[in-house]
Amino acid sequence: MDNTNFLFEFLHLLAGIGIFLTGCDIMSSNLEAVCSDRLRELLAKVSNNKIVGVLIGTAATIAISSSGAMTVMAIGFVNAHIITMKQAATIIFGGEIGTTLTGQLVALGMMGGGDIDLNFLFSSLAGIGVFMSMFAKKDKVRLFGAVLTGIGLLFAGLDVMSGAMTEFSRSPALKAAIARVDSSLLLIIFGAILTALIQSSTAITSISISMVAVGLITISQGIYLTLGANVGTCLTGMLAGMKSEGVNAKRTSLMQLIFNIGGVVLVYVIDLIMKIVTGGNLSFGILFENMFPGLPHTQLAMFHTIFNIASVVIVLPLVDSLVALTEKLIKDEEPKPKKEHFYFVDENILTTPSIAVEQIKQEIVNMANIAMQNFNIAMDMLKTEDFSRLNELEDNEGELNFLNKELVELIVKLGQSQKLNKSDSRYLSSTYKTIADLERIGDYASNLSVCAKNLKEEKLSDAIINELDVMRHLINRLYMLVIDSYKSGKRKVTKQIMDLRDNVQGLSNLMVKIYIRRLNEKELTAVSGGEYLKICNDTRRVSEHLINLIDTDYILNH
């Protein structure tokens, strides 16, 4: 092979890699959109049962076709205190099993004989998927068509890569040069570096399978490249852990690194011992050649699957010890002054929008709880003239202001994702108004606390205090119904909700109506009367903003 042909085939190989990675990305993003609801259901079932965690991690990784995304998601959940480190570990272990499916599909595509070319048949799915996406009327069908397009491109890219590598395999000089790279450690390092560069262990494993299939490398070389890919894929998790503020997120990413490096070291040592004991007559490469004779692509794909499953089986009983080890290696951080922060959302979760949408919903519900907590603190101040919780109210107000700004910015970023389905997109578009309403409730709570301070020397009558107690009860009851409707996703204004809103407004109007009488009877002074009217207005406005949270027509028209 002369230099011109070598350059041509190298560009041929790059084209195949590009098509393959594009196919992986299209398949992954659209699979996630198709499976978003099921993915949320799966992850909601994560428990302390280790096997359940592994199964959920496996299924979720297959659903989004990315162990890297699964790892980042688990780290984000840990950082947001949604799951424990132990639960995250089992999810990540399951992800290591789920990611081997692509390798099995690649091996399957390379099978066939005679007039049957499975790779060609799978590649044709790209065309079928494009037509489905173009002409289907239902969103689900269009998304499924996009998934098929991704699968087709994946195999088309593989076909292009295989063609280039077949040409390379016909060069005795090149094969001899590659054969001289027999250092297992060097191959592991090379596989790890390549995976870290393109951030896809699936791509490196698939390329290794196709190289083994055309005879460009041996099964043993393919095994060590694949082991290196397992180490290199940890880079995504390490980056996510370092970007996260929580110490447990960093520990979780370290757990994945220890797990993957530990498995590679174990295989390396066992393989070395087998070679020494048998004088080179037995190794993992020879073992899998004998298990699947004449099927080099299947040999490497099966090694990858069996290795990952075996690693999980060995490490799963040691999860508690692994968690304890990472806690020793990464010490707890010194307590920092309390500052505003997200409670459920982590930016790492943005890589999986279907999950991020659910976490944003929880963050908004928590924001509502904070706003109503401030409302109740302020109402307590009006009744008792006890200002011991004033600092708590001010801290909460700072948190509400933080969420109002930062949550909106996060939603803007998430809204730019191509992985969102229409339902999630519609929900996100409504959140801007919802967040603004909750921030206003917090403002009215602050106003009420100011009224309480201004009334410190102007004691309210028992009758007014009783009316404010009734008002507070009505608004809290209204809030419970509204937030239940919001969390359920139905967001409907029921008759019971409207009756409560009318009762709040009726009581507010009544209090305003008898304002002059109370002034004349000296139940109110000029100072307390002004604050009294503010209280009537602010409590009424709180009820209106609560209704806005579930008034779909109002949200869509603003």
**Which DSSP symbol is given to 182?**
-
Q: What's the one-letter identity of residue 425?
A: S
What is the model's pLDDT at position 354? 73
Candidates 394, 410, 385; CA nearest to 446 is: 394
Contact (CB, 8 A) for 392 and 377: yes
What is the model's pLDDT at position 302? 94
Q: Got the DSSP string for 262-295?
A: HHHHHHHHHHHHHHHHHTTS--HHHHHHHHSTT-
Domain boundaries, the chain: 3-329, 347-556
Apex CA 61: angle with CA 56 and CA 63, to 5°? 95
Cβ atoms within 10 Å, residue 535: 27
Structure tokens at 111: 């099978």
CATH class of 347-556: mainly alpha
* Chunked mean pLDDT (size 10), the chain, 558 residues: 76 85 77 66 72 87 74 77 85 89 82 59 85 83 85 82 77 74 86 83 84 87 91 80 76 90 92 90 92 90 93 92 91 63 76 79 93 95 90 93 92 81 85 94 94 86 91 95 89 88 92 89 87 92 92 59
Count Cα neighbours of 178 within 13 Å in the Cβ-side half-sphere. Answer: 21
What is the model's pLDDT at position 114? 45
Category of 280 on φ-ψ map: left (φ > 0), alpha (ψ -120 to 50) or beta = left
> pTM higher than 0.85, yes or no?
no
